[in-house]
Amino acid sequence: MAVTELAPNTGSNLEARLRQIGAERYHDKHPFHALMRDGKLTKAQVQAWALNRYYYQSRIPIKDSVMMSRLVDADLRRIWSQRVIDHDGTREGEGGLRKWLHLCQGLGLDRDYVVSEAGVLPATKFAVDAYVTFVRDKPLIEAIASSLTELFSPGIIRERVTSMLAQYDFVDEDMLIYFKGRMTQAPRDADFALDYVVRHATTPELEDSVCQALVFKTNVLWSQLDALYFAYVEPRLPPPDAFVPQA
């Protein structure tokens, strides 16, 4: 369908539905995030979170490369390529991935161990890989819609950064440099994706599929925190080979 088609009545309803999904299902509502926000995590648990989150971050530019491979329109592809650049940087030593490793090292994790992915929970890999597969296989509007958790990330970032700096003496501002860039990147990306889905969801079925795509993505994020909680909080049963924090 042409990029300029509008669905006037649908537009505002769809955005409201998407924001409601975020309000109910975004992982700022997860018990693990509540512990983090309330200063109740141990350093070991924060390490486990950062280690696993590295796997997610590492697959974002892969997911976005898959997306680029699905965009025949060079203008759309150019716009989407900024997401890959945000994570990989424009030269060695730059980019979001590098900043996430900086956080991991600041927490006392060995850089090579993190990059090896050896200690990552299988459940993390399954959830993250499902996201990449979704973007590869689903209709384009759903693939784009699955990125819309970025609508809600500035809120959780603000909460996370504030509470971590206030309550964890092993975390300083320099370690959290990753999140600074996200405060401008995420809204820019989310605005683009939201505009795209609102303009292209011209039937109730398409609107439903867009909402289901966002629900899917919230499940990807939620299940990762479930797995972390199970392995490192309660009942504290990490699977074989998973990262075991030093006492």
- Contact flag: residue 10 with a copy of itself (CB under 8 A): no
Our CB check for a copy of itself shows the closer of 31 and 39 to be 31
CB under 8 A: which stretch of 23-31, 58-66, 73-81, 180-188 binds a copy of itself? 23-31
- Contact flag: residue 168 with a copy of itself (CB under 8 A): no
- Contact flag: residue 14 with a copy of itself (CB under 8 A): no
**How long, in residues, is the chain?**
247
User: Is-contact 123 223, C-beta < 8 A?
Assistant: yes
Compute the C-alpha angle 130/45/166, nearest 5°: 115
- Rounded Cα distance between 15 and 22, Å, is 11
Q: Please, which of residues 103-132 interact with a copy of itself by CB under 8 A?
A: 121-123, 125-127, 129-130
CB of 134 to a copy of itself, least distance (A): 10
Among 166, 173, 149, 183, CA closest to 30: 149
- In Å, how far from its chain's centre is CA 39? 22
- Contact flag: residue 67 with a copy of itself (CB under 8 A): no
CB of 56 to a copy of itself, least distance (A): 13
User: Is-contact 222 229, C-beta < 8 A?
Assistant: no
CB under 8 A: which stretch of 72-80, 90-98, 201-209, 236-244 binds a copy of itself? 236-244
- Contact flag: residue 227 with a copy of itself (CB under 8 A): yes
Structure tokens given for 47:
């390490």
CB of 38 to a copy of itself, least distance (A): 16
Our CB check for a copy of itself shows the closer of 132 and 175 to be 132
CB of 160 to a copy of itself, least distance (A): 20
- Contact flag: residue 231 with a copy of itself (CB under 8 A): yes
Among 245, 230, 214, 28, CA closest to 122: 230
- Contact flag: residue 31 with a copy of itself (CB under 8 A): yes
128 sits in which H/E element: helix 122-137
User: Is-contact 22 217, C-beta < 8 A?
Assistant: no
- Rounded Cα distance between 245 and 247, Å, is 6
- In Å, how far from its chain's centre is CA 223? 12
Structure tokens given for 151:
């609508």
- Contact flag: residue 237 with a copy of itself (CB under 8 A): yes
- Contact flag: residue 166 with a copy of itself (CB under 8 A): no
Residues making contact with a copy of itself (CB under 8 A)? 24-25, 31, 121-123, 125-127, 129-130, 133, 219-220, 222-223, 226-227, 229-231, 234-235, 237, 239-240
